[in-house]
Amino acid sequence: MLVAAAEAAARWAPSVLNTQPWRWRVHPDRLELFAEPRRQLGVLDPDARLMILSCGAALHHACVALAAQGWTPRVTRTRGPSTVGPLAVLDGFEEVAITSAARQQEQAMRTRCTDRRPVSDQPVASLAIRAIEASATGAVRLQVLTAEQVLDLAAAVSRADAVQALDPRAREELDHWTSRTMTEGVGLSPEALPERLAQTTVPGRGFGHAGTLPIGAGHDRAATYALLYGDGDDPTQWLQAGEALSVIWLAATALDVSVLPLSDVVTVPGTREALRRVLKPLDHPYLALRLGIADAAPGVLPRTPRLPAAQLVEVVPAERR
């Protein structure tokens, strides 16, 4: 059951540029989650905040997989990736009833995906927005932005994009991770990237080149934007932000609401500070999100591939404990 949970998390969790920057070590009595520095974005994500956010999403995915099998773990969150130790340890598994909510979350885990195409002109119902907001119950919360705040977000996203476009090392790293083939199992291939830039108020991440994903005529006019935020800005909080991202994304998926993370705006220090002004004085933004109803017109979205489980999950034999 531990191997299955680690494999499910490795297979289904979202990660920045599909880097899958995690490694699971499965012991007979516990699961350990490590950040994988070989798949960190050294230029685009020098503090490793997006790497740890991605690992947090994988951590929550493992808990979802366990809950769907009737197990709940004790989760111990440890230090950041500068140390060699794990980011989190799951042990002390208790058998629990398999609830319909657990089954629904597991189903959402298998169907969730990132859709970068403009959303439809149908707004997300306010009841669904409230349910998605309410799904973040811990230290990390979701703030839905007002129309005026969306303009601040748009300005910050454009500026972050421009800063990265002017940096040749950032462009090179982006190109390295977004010019993959589907069979490599990591990074993004042209099939996942829009064929052209959509005319939207808040631009999606600029990948430096167009892809082959057909997009509709929409302009994201009915999209809702939100910030994932909390009251600290260190690796422990980034891990929890990743867990909250997973909770929110799965809740949204279950409600047929599409979620698109916008992350370069939080890795460029100046634009992250600009976003802070949207929040209360002591709060910090972890990620911006676009919420919307997917536009069915352009057709089927190909699934982003994953690395083989053997590269992400190590099973430790009992005698090595």
Would you call 144 helix, strand, or coil by DSSP?
strand
- Positions touching ligand FMN (CB under 6 A) are 14-18, 50, 53-54, 57, 113-114, 116, 188, 204-205, 260-264, 304
Residue with smallest beta-carbon separation from ligand FMN: 14
* Rounded Cα gap, residues 121 and 124, in angstroms: 9
Listed residue (83, 82, 39) closest to 58, CA to CA: 39
Listed residue (33, 12, 14, 13) closest to 91, CA to CA: 33
Listed residue (294, 307, 286) closest to 21, CA to CA: 307
* Residue 113: Cβ-neighbour burial (10 angstroms; 0-12, 13-18, 19+): middle
Query: What's at 231, amino acid-wise?
Result: D
CB of 104 to ligand FMN, least distance (A): 19
- β-sheet bridge partners, residue 22: 35
